[in-house]
Amino acid sequence: MQPTTTLATLGSLRLCFYGAGSMAEAIVRGLIGQELTKPSQISMLNRQNADRLQELSSRYGVETSSDEAAKLAMIQSADVLFLAPKPKDAAAALEQLRPLLSPNQLIVSVIAGLSIHTIEQLLGQPMAVVRTMPNTSSTIGLGATGISYSSSVSVEQRLLAEAMFQAVGLTAVVEEPLLDVVTGVSGSGPAYVYYLMEAMIKAGQDLGLTADAARELTVQTVLGAAQMVKETGEQPADLRRKVTSPNGTTQAAIETLDAHAFATGVQRAVARAAERAGELGADIERSALK
């Protein structure tokens, strides 16, 4: 299947998001914003928050319902079912889905740590499962998504899954165990960058800039730095050296960051997030075996 055929196919498919939180919204907003599908092809469901569903329906025009019979119809008529509850709710959510599924539906999970093996166990039948780790930047088409497949996912389904996530950003197909590393780098990654930005803005303000100036200068600096790495193809370390004059201001700042073990802290944070993804997956597996 050619990419254009895949995209045309996507427009005709019914997509159901089971779990209507931040990550589901990011993907929906991206798919609609990139005109990959119409809002009428998308349904979004959650456990009990009717106000949230109302908000999503009026914001994007997607189909939502709190009525049990209508929810059932949305699930059963979906060609692609996105699993997007929190890990702690995943075992219960997948067990609820179990009797409603048919083998021709494509399952796309965004749940951190949850393995394809456990998804298959919880769903109780062989299904085509795409396990992904996206991030919230999918909202604006700048997401970064790691993808793995169960062995029963067909070539066409792979192309479809990649087309969906490429529509909302960049994709990397990886061996399944590496999805936990992807979680540490890019799934949780936006939060590290926001944390850095919070600190830069606060420092600017503490030293006398207005809140607006501190924010705008910080945003443009992060945007420009990321774009420089992308457009020049240079290594971040080389670009960093070009900013760092001998005995200048940047050297003084980097020495201060080193004194606070900045790089080690970030490396440990990524590793800990990856480890935590494994722990979340193991917890769900334990609930599944109960």
Ligand X SMILES: O=C(O)[C@@H]1CCC=N1
| CA-wise closest residue to 60 among 44, 84, 75 | 44
What mask, x for binding ligand NAI by CB under 6 A, covers residues 66 to 85?
------------------xx
Contacting range for ligand NAI; rule: CB under 6 A; set: 3-11, 13-21, 146-154, 199-207: 13-21
Residue 115 identity? S
Count of residues that interact with ligand NAI, criterion CB under 6 A? 27
246 bridge partner residues: none
Cα separation, 82 vs 266, in Å, equals 31
Contacting range for ligand X; rule: CB under 6 A; set: 35-43, 76-84, 181-189, 241-249: 181-189
Does 188 contact ligand X by CB under 6 A? yes
Token pair recorded at residue 171: 């994709």
Closest residue (Cβ) to ligand NAI? 21
- Tell whether 103 is in a known binding site: no
**What is the residue-wise DSSP string for 135-187?**
-GGGGGT-EEEEEEE-TT--HHHHHHHHHHHHHTEEEEE--GGGHHHHIIIII
Instruction: Return the one option of ligand NAI, ligand X, none that residue 96 interacts with (CB less than 5 to 8 A, by type).
Output: ligand NAI
Give me the phi and psi of 173, to 5 degrees please.
-85, 125
Contacting range for ligand NAI; rule: CB under 6 A; set: 19-27, 118-126, 239-247, 252-260: 19-27
Q: Which of residues 168-197 bind ligand NAI (CB under 6 A)?
A: 187
The answer to whether 64 and 46 have CB atoms below 8 angstroms apart is no
Question: Which residues belong to the annotated binding site for NADP(+)?
Answer: 84-87
Judged by the rule CB under 6 A, the positions of this chain that interact with ligand NAI are 18-24, 45-47, 49, 84-87, 89, 92-93, 96, 110-112, 133-136, 187
